[in-house]
Structure 1
Amino acid sequence: MKLLAITTSEKPSLWIFGYGSLVWKPDFKYKRSKVGYIEGYSRRFWHGDNFHRGDKDVPGRVVTLVEDQDACTWGVAYEVTDSQMEESLQYLNVREAVLGGYVTKMVEFTPREKYQGSLLALVYIATSDNPIYLGPATPTEIAAQITICRGNTGHNIEYLLRLAEFMRLYCPEVEDDHLFSIEAAALALVI
């Protein structure tokens, strides 16, 4: 991916939208961040993870975005500038594209503070043609898989609980039924 193709200002910067583990663990340097949302997508635990939160025998479940014109997905956008752009894209392309099977897309991001205005952000999305894409399942089935999986980054349930915690802390007015129903089912299995 060429930086000039995704930056447009004289002083180049790029916004990167995270809606999964990037909301609590970006692991790259950035200038600033904003909580907000993108429209037209639902967050779903439909993508397999055979490295970070699972393995090749028992893949974990992580989130991806699914087109849904009536939905919006909350997360965090990070602004990277100058040398941060190349470093962050190199890091994310390994973390998300090579290891995770995600593709990139530019989307319109709306910050929580409406007076700031919308901006374009790069987002990583796993598509259904990806070999480790798992697809839909019931909240109980997804939770059962999440509670038994562990990968190089940690236990899959940590990923689920941290994402739910982010939503409660930063977006308390948003009801993410998919996320919270899986969290409730997972907690019922382990408590």
Structure 2
Amino acid sequence: MSGRPWRVTSPGEQGIACGMPLSPDPFRHHPGLRGKVKPFATSYFRTITSEAVRATLAQTGIAEAFPFHSDAWREALRAEALEGHQGDLLIFAYGSLIWDPALDFTEIRRAHAPCHARRFILVDRLGARGTANAPGLMAALDEGPGCDGLVFRIAEHKVEAETEILFRREMIGPGYHARFIPVVLDGQEVRALSFIADHDDPLMQADISREDQIRFAATGAGFLGTSFDYLQSTVEHLAEVGIDDPDASDLLAAVRAWRAGAGLPPP
């Protein structure tokens, strides 16, 4: 790639700038990622709604404890996050969005967020992958020394529809701030939308001990599955797309050892 700044243009504009038609293949930059990202049309998260999650939680008896955002409030948060944005939209993925984005994207790129890190600090007591009696553990994007992930480009004419779907998933309740953050693509810094840990929310425990991380990841379970499966899937999927996360890998090894010591069966 040339040393020109990598700016956010539409696919058609990029093709014109190069003097040739642009390939419609979203994996044109990284063909090795083909088959490792779930097609958006088959994703559970494509059609997720607060009502569906509420109905699922009602079966467990914990629906009233889950602090759902109202549709109006979530839409207000989306409007605030996207205020002033024009053109195609870049979205930085650091967790399950990497392999199951549920987005109709036109381009996928490897990316590095230099000011943030993937950290296992989201303690779930609300039923997704943990309960009040057996909390679960998930990852969040926090301030830190750097995070490797993927960036998905959403075409300008699809930004409205795709971000509505994205916010239904990521902002179903509190826990995150939707923010544009600096990310680096092929040596060029751009801004991408991502979901950052909200330290004012009780779900986020930035000072969580390693012992609690291990125990919560080993035993937490909810309507989305177990925290152990989540951690194991995260490490496996990151490795599959060529992302090395030593902290996540070390945590998984410690959780496996803890479960073995407690006599818990493998998944």
1:53 aligns with 2:129: yes
Q: How far off its partner does 1:65 sit?
A: 2.3
CA contact (8 A) 2:90 2:191 kept: yes
In structure 2, what is the equivalent of residue 35 of structure 1? 110
**Which residue identity does 1:64 align to in structure 2?**
A
Alignment match, 1:137: 208
Deviation at 1:16, TM superposition (A): 0.8
**Are positions 1:160 and 2:231 aligned together?**
yes
| Aligned equivalents of 1:100, 1:25: Cα separation in 2 | 21
Q: Compared with structure 1, are the counterparts of its residues 152 and 110 closer, same or farther at alpha carbon in structure 2 (3 Å cutoff)? A: same
Aligned partners of 1:100 and 1:151: how far apart in 2? 18
Report the counterpart of residue 124 of structure 1 in structure 2: 195
Match of 1:20 in 2: 95
- In the aligned structure 1, how far is the partner of 2:136 from the partner of 2:142? 18
What's the CA shift string for 1:73-111, capped at 9, x where partnerless? Answer: 011111112453223322222222233521111112223
- The aligned amino acid for 1:52 is A
Whose RCO is larger (CA < 8 A, sep 6+)?
A: 1
Compute the TM-score of the two structures, normalised by the length of structure 1. Answer: 0.81
Unaligned runs of 5+ in 1: none
Uncovered stretches (5+) of structure 2, i.e. residues with no partner: 1-77, 261-267
CA distance in 2, matches of 1:76, 1:37: 8
1:112-163 alpha-carbon deviations (Å, 9 max, x no partner): xx26x33210010122111222333333421211121122222212221122
Large movers: runs of 4+ above 4 Å? none
TM-score w.r.t. the length of structure 2 is: 0.60
Match of 2:184 in 1: 110
CA contact (8 A) 1:140 1:185 kept: no
2 CA distance for matches of 1:99 and 1:152?
Answer: 16
Cα distance in 1 for partners of 2:230, 2:189 equals 28
Comparing 14-23 with 177-186, which one deviates more in the overlay?
A: 177-186
Find the structure with the greater CA-based Rg. 2
Give me the CA root mean square deviation: 2.3
Counterparts of 1:180 and 1:21 in 2: how far apart (Å)?
A: 16
Residue aligned with 1:136, SS: coil
Q: Is the 8 A contact 1:17 1:78 kept in 2?
A: yes
Q: Which amino acid aligns with 1:148?
A: T
Q: Does 1:62 align with 2:99?
A: no
